[in-house]
Amino acid sequence: MSITQSINHQDRLLTINVNDSEIKNALPGVHVTPCFLDPDNGVWVIRARFDAGTTLPRHFHTGVVHFYTTAGAWHYVEYPEDVQTAGSYLFEPAGSIHTLTTPEGAEGFMIVEGANVNLNDDDSLMFIMDAGWIERTLHAVAQQTGQKMPRYIKPGAAVGFSD
């Protein structure tokens, strides 16, 4: 078999522009543009913008996270000396636990494998956020608020776009 026989033919490149649209307040103070949502394999890539004063629930990662900050500044409550600013790249190993906060506001791209297990103050389960939860939640928020659901890449039997 030649290499050209094993190549996946594409009619178009699988590309999106994150500036086209986002879902505002997917969570309070968090605006999300989905880039790649793969519930079958537990991988999600999003662009997130955080309003000033936003603090996410403390959460535990079941898989690794890559976070590239493109604007603003944020840090984990547990690591106040490690402020992430535009140009910062952060690798989070599976099993890490922390609380994101952004006094000034920030934005960046996340590549996440697995889930965020979000916790209440007493360590009880708040909710689990994974690629499927994000997909369902973004669609629900868009429908409830009259926002346009951004186009994103959605793999499956035939890789393609969400629409």
Burial annotation 31-45 (CB, 10 A radius, 16+ → b, else e): bbbbbbbbbeeebbb
pLDDT, tens only, 27-61: 999 999 999 999 999 999 999 999 999 999 999 99
- The whole-angstrom distance between residue 3's C-alpha and the CA centroid of its chain comes to 34
pLDDT, tens only, 117-143: 999 999 999 999 999 999 999 999 999
- CATH H superfamily, domain 26-134: Jelly Rolls (2.60.120.10)
Sign of CA dihedral 56, 60, 61, 66: positive
Q: Model pTM?
A: 0.88
Burial of 19 (0-12, 13-18, 19+ CB in 10 A): exposed
